[in-house]
Structure 1
Amino acid sequence: MARGEWGHNGRCSYKRTTIIVCSVNIVVALYVLQSLYTSLYMYPFSDSQSTFKYTANQIRKMEESNQIRRASEPTELIKLVSQLKQSLKQKLINEILDRLRSLDAAANATLQREAIDSWRKKKLREVKKFIRGKTLNSTILPEEAGAVAKALSSDWVELSEQIGLWIPIEIVNKEHDDKPEGEEDFDEEILPGRKLPPECHAELHTDYDGAAVRWGLTHHKESAYDCCMACLDQAKRAKPGEMKCNIWVYCPSETGCYSPDIYEHKNQECWLKYSEKPKLNFKDTYSESYRDSHPKAPVVVPWVSGVVSV
């Protein structure tokens, strides 16, 4: 009864209202999709077209670059190589490979290039003789001799690349020695502690002989600097008639230091010694003959020493 009255009064029914609302929604949705499509694809495209426009100066530079590139191309050589038959190219490649196989397996790039260049010169002489009418036992046919001679006489580096042969350039790194003439080599070993002053006359990997003023077995110092200072202080405080320290010997190695005596010498041992004429026990390295007779001796002398003036 209510539906009849609703339609009778000229108003739309629920069904018609639903259809109208859905139609409007579909139209709105299509409009929104069209707007999104236009904003995502049309505008960025037009912006990109305007963003990447080149200036007249940029265009001129690109044209100059292309001209330089075209001028540097070995066009004559490329044309010459293109005239060689594939079978002829394969003959040349096979001969080059045979020459490379004849080299020692350890041959470097330099030796390989020298071998190939030697083959090229020999092949060129052979082809030229063939052109002059001399009969040779050659793999090159008479009609191919002229083209091969021109190719081998041209830029060989470019030609080798054109036929598929490429040998990398060997890079030799040389150590630059900027040490001033007459200067001794710097020892890169860094001693712990403060830097030793010149009056300590420190010598790395050195062991001096002398009478013990203070035994290092019970006399440890934090660094070689402290050991040197202990020697200088002892010399200043020594009483008349007592030996004055003029040699200090220090063990900087954390694993201890070798000595041919019966004792085990540990890190931070500081020996204070005296000698009227200081004499070396060992310097830099222990000799091979010494190590043969003393198997426990290392290669390098671990001690650091110095002779001071008192």
Structure 2
Amino acid sequence: MARGGGEWTGGGNTGAGVLPFKRITLLVCFVNILIALFVLRFLYTSSLNIYSYNENVVRYTADEIRKMEESIRIRRSKESIELVKLAKKLKRDVATAESNTELSPDVKHKLVDEILQRLKSLEEKSNVTQLREAVELWRSEKLKEAKEMIQGQNGENSTNILEEAGMLVRALELEWDVLSEEIGFWLPAEVSNEEHDDKPEGEEEPEEVLAGRPVPAVCNAELHTDYGGAAVRWGLTHHKESAADCCQACLDQAKHAKPGETRCNIWVYCPSEFGCFSPDIYEHKHQECWLKYAEYPKQNFKDRYSEMYRNNHPKAPSIVPWVSGVVTA
């Protein structure tokens, strides 16, 4: 009994396990069929898109391609090659001209000599207005001469002359203020200097002493004085320890100047630690030493700036800060 019952039970368990296995197999097959259908649909859709793209591509015939090539060739043959070359040449010429607008030192030196010669022809007592008119007349004559030179030069060998004349016209006509500063030439505004004695009655002026070693008598030092003239050495980059050293620099320059070079006969020094005022665009600092030349030295300012001048130049102090002198050979 025990053995038979065990065999019956085993047979019943085997039949119950086969049924779930068949269901799982059917489910897997069904899923595989769905995946296969999805892949087939995707491949079919892709092939339709590719076919549609190929249908939209424009295809040209051999005759149409030949006509397009002929059209491109004709268009290129109609381009103005000479005009393009000329435009490039003009661009290079303009760039070259802009890089060579600086007058040479020899030309600047010649301009200074001509201005000085023109001023020499004036009377000794000429005022600032007369000096200015003389310089303006010289400038207009020089400008006319340069323009006539440009019109008269047409040969290939005149390139350098044309360039120099063109730069001179530009400097005299458009950049005269810059050029006059570069060559150290400027004329102060004409003002009437009036003496104002606002010192309290009975009070004595304290004796002023320049710092440094004593100034030699040959220097003819004048306190609170500013002499004009053509700059031989710019003080912006020329500093000296004392007024005596500045005067000595003027004497040394005149002694060692080469033939034809302008010789210093005026020195102007800034003794103030706070700098010195001047009616130009620069900031003049302590110990600036200007070396100048003038055949007939004249004072720009002496002792005090007038009230009228200070109204026109609000930054001007009441007392002229410079010390200067005319050396005697």
Question: Structure 1 length normalisation: TM-score?
Answer: 0.40
Higher radius of gyration, 1 or 2: 2
Give the number of the structure whose residues are more often helix, by fraction: 2
Question: Structure 2 length normalisation: TM-score?
Answer: 0.38
